Amino acid sequence: MKFSEVLSWSGFKTWVSGPDHHAVAREARERAGSALPAGERLEDSHVVVIGEGVPAPPSRLRPDVFPGARSTTDRWLSHADNAERVLDRLNPVNAAVDAFDDRGSGKGQAMSGDWGSVAGQMACSLQPREGSGVVSVLVLGDHGLHVVHVQKSPDGRKTGPAVQYGWGVPRGRISWCRNRKDVKHGTHEIGFDDGSWVRILFPVSGWGTLAEALANSPGGSGPVS
């Protein structure tokens, strides 16, 4: 946002209130379909991040997303955004809310399988090396499950022009999907036919139809409780 825009009342309110995460999510979902493999028809999608407790993969296995799009200014703004999140967590009110929301985050393991398993590959795709400028979208097509990365503006208020395909697996390899709201609202675990599974988080509301479709995929056994 330009400084001249901040000086206006509407611009000042937008600057103070921060990014509209639902608006950014909608933009990302709209853009993600353009990166799907040829012939794949999008059925449902939602923005996604790696679930709490999932370990970080080795750097060599983490995708380098949009490396050519990061200018010095972008990197500076990304660092500033990270610092803002740290300061936000230091706010005692925010910390108390997070502590309540994260009350179950230590329950059980968050992933099963090595990095070469289906779940491990998915976990790697959701943890790019430069994560602050990326919105990841989980896309369910008529043939497969995919992760698509959409560029985010340095201030986080809108999506950028770039879209990059991240990962995919045939839909028939999805075995089950479990809602883990006891860990954190929006948390789910997805299992695959090789026995591996991983925890993910849908950070904004509206994931219900996708979670149901995942649980009822051709290779699935329905919702797991």
Q: pLDDT tens digits for 114-170?
A: 999 999 999 999 999 876 689 999 999 999 999 999 999 888 888 988 999 999 999
214 vs 3, more confident: 214
**Buried b or exposed e, range 27-40, using 16+ CB within 10 angstroms:** bbbebbbebbeeeb
Evaluate whether residue 9 is within a structural domain: no
Q: How many domains does the chain have?
A: 1
Nearest by Cα to 39 from 141, 149, 116, 122: 141
Evaluate whether residue 169 is within a structural domain: yes
Alpha carbon distances (Å) from 147 to 71, 83, 121, 177, 198 = 25, 27, 11, 16, 14
| pLDDT value of position 20 | 86
User: Which residue range forms the structural domain that includes residue 173?
Assistant: 19-215
Percent of the chain at pLDDT > 90 equals 60
| pLDDT value of position 195 | 97
Evaluate whether residue 156 is within a structural domain: yes
Evaluate whether residue 124 is within a structural domain: yes
| pLDDT value of position 21 | 87
Evaluate whether residue 205 is within a structural domain: yes
Evaluate whether residue 14 is within a structural domain: no
Evaluate whether residue 141 is within a structural domain: yes
| pLDDT value of position 105 | 46
Average pLDDT over residues 95-122: 75
Evaluate whether residue 7 is within a structural domain: no
